[in-house]
Structures are given as structure tokens and as C-alpha cells.
Amino acid sequence: MSATAVERPLLRLRAFRNLFVAAAVSQFGSQITYVALPLLAVTVLGAGAGEVGLLASLGTLTVLIVGLPAGVWVDRVRRLPLMIVTDLARAAALLSIPLAWWGGWLSMGQLYVVAVLVGAGSLLFDVACLSLVPGLVGRTRLTSANSLLVGTGAGMDVAGRSAAGLLVHTAGAPLAILLDALSYVWSAAWLRRVPEHPDATVPGVAGALRDGEEAGGVARAPRHGARAIGGVRAEGMGRQVSEGVRFLVGNPVLMAALIQGAMANLAFPLCSVLLPVLIVGGLGHPEWVLGAYLAGGGLGVLAGSSAAHALARRFGTGRAAWLVSLATAPAALAIPFLGHGPWLWLAAAAWFVLMFRTGVNNVLLVSLRQRVTPDEMLGRMTATVRLLLMGATGAGGLLAALLGELWGVRAALWAGALIMALSWIPFLRSPLRTHP
């Protein structure tokens, strides 16, 4: 890659810029639904803790079924068309909610089905997107690219969640979800503007992005994805899946990051999915307070993603992730005290700190995984990691529902706080601590 190409700002690269805009618009809408969907269940359908917890977990548990095959599929098909199709499919699923509400036949069963469909679409979209980035910007710029993507996504989290609270309060949850459906259509329109060579099937395959080429377009590959990744066209799905799993399990750096992430992802739903029940239903705060609380977490992700590159240069990627986790994880113990007055502010501050850590890790650990994984394995590695991380998130949602029904919302908050406070331990004796 030429020096000129390396020095060009990432947003001057048309392919990456259009992907960036599409992801930002989609993220904004997704955060509206993140707040609006459980509020719709609580305020319109009268859902309790168990139903809200199940609703939160279904989208993520979907990856337990389609997670590993999704990685093989992404490694063998054209990624941009797949992302566009998943955007349009998610838009159609979400659009059914306001239509059903207006028609008077909205039910929790429909919300559950929509959560599954949106979860499956998000999995395919995210795996394809993460597998596409190295081919768009080059591996030497992954930290900068991911910092920009994560930081902007965090900004959209803040804007989307804040807007969601106000929208639900003033116009109702169905209208808020309609806006999310439209955001997916807009994202699909921007993705159509990402340049792709007609023969591109597996962007970023090994050796496709050579020195001297500008990292501003999708790397070329033969039309048949199976041939491009080493003659696996005739091999079974199971063998390809097992190759991805063995690669991940055999790398101690990736495994330490995975275990830490799984603990955090198990804890986050315990600390968050029942918040509509507690903040709006139990404490009597208006809906905008929930939106503001969650938006504060978005500010934390934004701050963490913005600081990640500087932290990596100062301490190294692995050491920075370890130190930030050690310093911030104990803040989770303040969240179960959420209540009125200063207790609300204390919990919100703790949520900000935890999400700061998320912002740092989303940049550093995603970049690390992309950097140490061969191009032909990116889809399978990413799908395997997403399977386990999102599976942990789904399990956390189900556990929150169970604990909420049996012992109350605060029991779920305490369980999540304790798991989160200990989530730095996988880094303790891992080689990741000294990884550059």
C-alpha cells in the first residue's frame, strides 16, 4: 500500500465513507427500537418482568441457531448484497409493529417474532460488515477505522436513545419503531453506493490487498467464494465451521478476550433489560428518564472509543484493555442502588463508566481479532465470536427474566453487578496483557 493511500483520511475513501454513513444511520434507528420495543411491551401490552426479559433475549439467542453457519455463508458470498438484503428484511419486520398497532391486533407473540427476525438480520449484517472492513481500509488502519465506527455508533446510541425516550413520551412507541424501519431502508440505499467490483465475492481474501494498492475499494476475488478460500467448495458446512472454531480455541489471546467479553455480555442484560420495569413501572419516572439513563451509557461508549487509540499507543492493545477493565469493572456494584435522587445519578454514573470500558474494548479487541485472523477465516471467526458473545447476552436476558419473576428486579441487578465486577479476571494470566 502506498504512503499516499495510508495518509489519506479514512472518510476520503469512498467505499469506507458510504459504509460508515450506512452503519451510522442504521445504528441511530436501532437504538430507538432498543428503548421503544420494551417500552411498547410495558406501556401498551402491560408486559411484566418475565415477558420483557424474554423479549430482550430472543434476538440474541437467535445466534445460537444461525451463528456458526452465518460465518461460513459470509465467507462464501458477496457481502454487500447480503447486508442490503438484511437491512430491507429488518425494515419489513419492524414495519409490521406499527401496522399491527394501528389495526388493533398487536400482541406479545408478534413482538417475539420480530425480535427473532431482527436478531438474525443483525447477526448477518454485523458479521459481513466486520469481515468487509479490512478489505476497505487495509489491516494497518484497523484501529483507526474501528475507532471511527465505534465512536460514531456510540454517538448514534446517545442520539437514538435520547430521541427514543422523547418520541415514546410524546408520540408513542409505535411511531418510534416506524422510524427505525425507515432507517434500515436508508442504510440499504447508502450501501448500494459502496463500490464493488463485479467479480467481488469474498472481499479481503488473503493476498488480495497487496502493497501498492489503495485501500479504498473492495478487494477482488474469484466469482466462486468456495474456490477463493482454499478449495472448500466441495467440503461440508460442518468441516468449515469446525475450522473456524479450532482456530479461535487454539489462540490464547483470542480466547482470553472471548471469555472476558462473554462475562460482560452475560452481565449487561442483567443490569439493563428490566430497567423499563424498574424506572418507569416501579419508580414512576417518565419515559425520557430511561432514555437519558441509557443515553449516558452511549456517551460512555463514545468517550471510550475516542480514547482507545491513544490508550493502545501508550500501553499496547492488550495491556490497555486489561488496565481499563481492572479500573472500571467494580463500578457495576453501584447499579443495584438505582432509585430516586442521588441514587439515580450514582447508578447512571456507574453505567457511564462501564460503557466507557465497552467503548475501549470494542475498538481494541475487535481490531486485535481482525489483525491476527487470516482473511479467509474472518467470517467464521467473527461469527463464532458473535455466537458466543450474543449467546451470553441472550442467556443474560433469560436469567434476568427468571430472577425478576422469582425475586424481583433488584435481584437481577445484583447478579449482573457481581458478574461484571469480576469480568477482568480472564485477563489476569493471559498473554493478551502484553500483546502489542
For the stretch 6-48, pLDDT in tens is: 456 777 777 777 888 887 887 777 777 777 888 888 878 887 7
Question: Do the domain assignments include residue 42?
Answer: yes
Give the pLDDT of residue 37.
Answer: 84
Give the pLDDT of residue 95.
Answer: 93
**Domain containing 306 — which CATH number?**
1.20.1250.20
Number of domains in the chain: 1
Q: What is the pTM of this model?
A: 0.59
Average pLDDT over residues 154-173: 69
Q: In this structure, which amino acid lies at residue 357?
A: R
Give the pLDDT of residue 269.
Answer: 84
Give the pLDDT of residue 96.
Answer: 93
Give the pLDDT of residue 57.
Answer: 73
Question: Do the domain assignments include residue 435?
Answer: no
- Please tell me which residue, 200 or 119, carries the higher pLDDT value: 119
Own/partner contacts of 275-283, CB < 8 Å, gap of 24 or more, are: 276/38, 276/39, 276/41, 276/42, 276/52, 277/42, 277/48, 277/49, 277/52, 277/404, 277/409, 278/338, 278/409, 278/410, 278/413, 279/338, 280/39, 280/42, 280/43, 281/42, 282/409, 283/339, 283/340
CB atoms within 10 A of CB 251: 17
Does pLDDT of 166 surpass 80?
Answer: no
Residue 225 C-alpha cell reads as: 467464494
Question: Do the domain assignments include residue 92?
Answer: yes
Give the pLDDT of residue 155.
Answer: 66
How high does pLDDT run on average in the chain? 75
For the stretch 413-436, pLDDT in tens is: 999 999 988 888 888 777 776 666
Average pLDDT over residues 298-302: 80
For the stretch 234-276, pLDDT in tens is: 356 667 767 777 778 777 878 888 888 889 888 888 888 778 7
The CB-side HSE value for 230 (13 A sphere, CA atoms) comes to 11
Question: Do the domain assignments include residue 70?
Answer: yes
Question: Do the domain assignments include residue 121?
Answer: yes
* Structural domain boundaries, residue 87: 7-429
Spatial separation of the C-alpha atoms in residues 86 and 120, rounded to whole Å? 9
Give the pLDDT of residue 59.
Answer: 67
Average pLDDT over residues 375-399: 77
Spatial separation of the C-alpha atoms in residues 206 and 198, rounded to whole Å? 19
For the stretch 59-118, pLDDT in tens is: 666 666 766 666 666 667 677 888 888 899 999 999 999 999 988 888 898 999 998 888
Question: Do the domain assignments include residue 1?
Answer: no
Does pLDDT of 173 surpass 70?
Answer: yes
User: Do 403 and 415 contact (CB within 8 A), yes or no?
Assistant: yes
Query: DSSP assignment of 33-67, as one string?
Result: HHHHHHHHHHHTT---HHHHHHHHHHHHHTHHHHH
Question: Do the domain assignments include residue 2?
Answer: no
Question: Do the domain assignments include residue 159?
Answer: yes
